[in-house]
């Protein structure tokens, strides 16, 4: 049992018994914790009762509380959305945190512009653009962006068309990478049609893009526009060559996000398998921090609220391994997305695959963190199979290796030159 600070005790009688969000702050005004409540007054009062006595984390939090801010909202779904946004804004130390939550890049398509651009960004802004990501594998993001630039003639300039217009087209036009919409060589309707195909491609719907490009090629050929038909034919060949390698595995149709969860003590990892059009296209992951004393259901709920609430990229099905308290609120806030907890069948097999990925990622994370900072490994038996030999040997040490003869002066000079040349390759091999 704890006594409420004077600033909090003065506000308690005036808090409503309705949905809302509360922010605990310390003496310096820093936000310690953001939480949501179905009944705001009861939830805030419970922190100073006997409900949280067994939670060491909450005991430390309560001792640091100096003041309280609260926001009343119409429904619990609104409270869930507001809580997720405030946690992203303040990053409180006592909330469950997604590791590197804001560091992953996105591919942004500026659909709000007359002639949209496609580029990489790390900032999510509600400006009408379409964001694809986040990409936890930056290499995969770069490859996707390179494919877009190779197949589609997306402009790379930063002009605010139609307000800013250059005098002449840039180099991209002359080398065939852009059709110069900036100077009127390409119409807005034609450019917008190409951007629609870029969006489909980034969304993993390569088959739809291929079908649209083939129809346009046949239409251009029927109109005797053979130059345009040849351009579309070349784009079609590139798309055909890219279709198969992007497919990891074929599953039953539809768009799904499959969640896998693994935990080892105070470390947790969430793996996401993104399935579009029945094809497993990508895997993302998040490592979760500040999970001491938290239940698995609470950790999963915190991740889903943070990752999906407010995001425009929703699959029709969100498949999760376990049930959690805010499931109905999450479904309400996501609109048409259904949250499914499968017990058997193909969906359950997908969850098991996602959980296997989460365990593997967590083991890798734990091994990297336990490795010494100087990067040197503990002595172990080493094999030279990578160098073409199958023999194995134990590493030598100063205590076990025989004493070498002192080299002659010429040998020392030759050896020093050899070592100086070999040093960079040795360091890189480590």
CATH number for position 23: 3.40.1440.10
Rounded Cα distance, 359 and 371, in Å? 18
Rounded Cα distance, 181 and 198, in Å? 17
Q: Who contacts 370 (Cβ-Cβ below 8 Å, separation ≥6)?
A: none
Number of folded domains that form the chain: 3
Confidence of residue 424 (pLDDT cuts 50, 70, 90): very low
Rounded Cα distance, 204 and 246, in Å? 9
Q: DSSP letter at 181?
A: G
In a domain, residue 264? The reply is yes
Neighbour-count burial of 208, counting CB atoms closer than 10 A to its CB (0-12 exposed, 13-18 middle, 19+ buried): middle
Out of 65, 95, 125, pick the residue that ends a domain.
95
Q: What does the pLDDT read at residue 81?
A: 83
Q: What does the pLDDT read at residue 246?
A: 41
Domain identity same for 301 and 341: yes
Rounded Cα distance, 73 and 19, in Å? 6
Structure tokens at 176: 């065939």
In a domain, residue 143? The reply is yes
Domain identity same for 362 and 280: yes
Domain identity same for 34 and 71: yes
pLDDT in tens, 358-413: 998 888 887 776 665 554 444 433 333 333 333 344 444 444 444 444 444 444 44
Structural domain including 277 reads: 250-366
Q: What does the pLDDT read at residue 351?
A: 92
Q: Is the pLDDT of residue 31 over 90?
A: yes
Out of 58, 75, 95, pick the residue that ends a domain.
95
Domain identity same for 306 and 326: yes
pLDDT in tens, 93-117: 898 877 654 456 888 999 999 999 9
Confidence of residue 242 (pLDDT cuts 50, 70, 90): low
Structure tokens at 32: 């310690």
In a domain, residue 374? The reply is no
In a domain, residue 30? The reply is yes
Domain identity same for 91 and 37: yes
Domain identity same for 260 and 351: yes
- Whether cis (ω within 30° of 0) applies to the bond prior to 162 is yes
Domain identity same for 87 and 118: no
Out of 170, 203, 236, pick the residue that ends a domain.
203
Structure tokens at 381: 């038996």
Pick from 268, 193, 212: nearest CA to 181: 193
In a domain, residue 39? The reply is yes
CATH number for position 303: 3.30.420.10
Pick from 181, 175, 184, 185: nearest CA to 195: 181
Residue length, the chain?
430
Domain identity same for 86 and 110: no
pTM beyond 0.75:
no
In a domain, residue 387? The reply is no
Domain identity same for 262 and 333: yes
- Whether cis (ω within 30° of 0) applies to the bond prior to 219 is no
Domain identity same for 278 and 176: no
Vertex 288 angle, CA 287 and 289, to 5°: 125
Rounded Cα distance, 263 and 271, in Å? 12
Domain identity same for 286 and 361: yes
């Amino acid at each position: 049992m704890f006594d409420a600070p004077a600033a909090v005790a003065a506000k308690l009688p005036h808090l409503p018994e309705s949905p809302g969000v509360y922010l605990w702050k310390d003496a310096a005004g820093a936000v310690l914790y953001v939480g949501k409540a179905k009944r705001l007054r009861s939830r805030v009062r419970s922190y100073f009762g006997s409900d949280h006595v067994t939670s060491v984390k909450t005991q430390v939090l309560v001792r640091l509380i100096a003041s309280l801010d609260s926001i009343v909202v119409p429904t619990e779904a609104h409270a869930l959305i507001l809580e997720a946004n405030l946690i992203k804004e303040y990053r409180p130390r006592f909330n469950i945190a997604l590791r590197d939550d804001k560091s992953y890049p996105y591919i942004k398509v500026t659909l709000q512009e007359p002639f949209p651009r496609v580029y990489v960004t790390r900032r999510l802004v509600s400006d009408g653009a379409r964001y694809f990501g986040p990409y936890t594998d930056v290499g995969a993001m770069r490859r996707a962006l390179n494919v877009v630039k190779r197949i589609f003639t997306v402009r790379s300039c930063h002009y605010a068309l139609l307000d800013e217009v250059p005098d002449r087209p840039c180099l991209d036009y002359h080398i065939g990478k852009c059709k110069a919409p900036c100077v009127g060589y390409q119409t807005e309707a034609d450019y917008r049609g190409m951007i629609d195909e870029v969006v489909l491609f980034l969304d993993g719907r390569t088959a739809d893009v291929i079908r649209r490009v083939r129809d346009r090629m046949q239409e251009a050929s029927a109109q005797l526009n053979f130059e345009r038909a040849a351009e579309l034919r070349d784009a079609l060949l590139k798309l055909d060559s890219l279709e198969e390698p992007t497919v990891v595995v074929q599953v039953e149709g539809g768009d799904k996000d499959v969640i896998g969860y693994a935990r080892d003590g105070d470390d947790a990892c969430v793996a996401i398998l993104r399935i579009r059009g029945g094809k497993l296209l990508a895997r993302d992951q998040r490592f979760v921090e500040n999970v001491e004393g938290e239940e698995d259901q609470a950790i999963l709920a915190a991740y889903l609220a943070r990752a999906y609430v407010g995001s425009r990229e929703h699959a029709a099905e969100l498949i999760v391994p376990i049930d959690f308290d805010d499931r109905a609120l999450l479904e309400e806030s996501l609109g048409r997305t259904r949250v499914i907890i499968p017990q058997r069948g193909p969906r359950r097999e997908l969850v098991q695959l996602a959980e296997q990925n989460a365990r593997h990622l967590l083991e890798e994370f734990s091994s990297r963190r336990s490795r010494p900072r100087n990067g040197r490994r503990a002595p172990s038996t080493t094999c030279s199979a990578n160098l073409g030999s199958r023999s194995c040997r134990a590493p030598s040490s100063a205590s076990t290796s025989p004493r070498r003869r002192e080299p002659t002066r010429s040998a020392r000079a030759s050896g020093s030159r050899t070592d100086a040349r070999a040093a960079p390759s040795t360091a890189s091999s480590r």
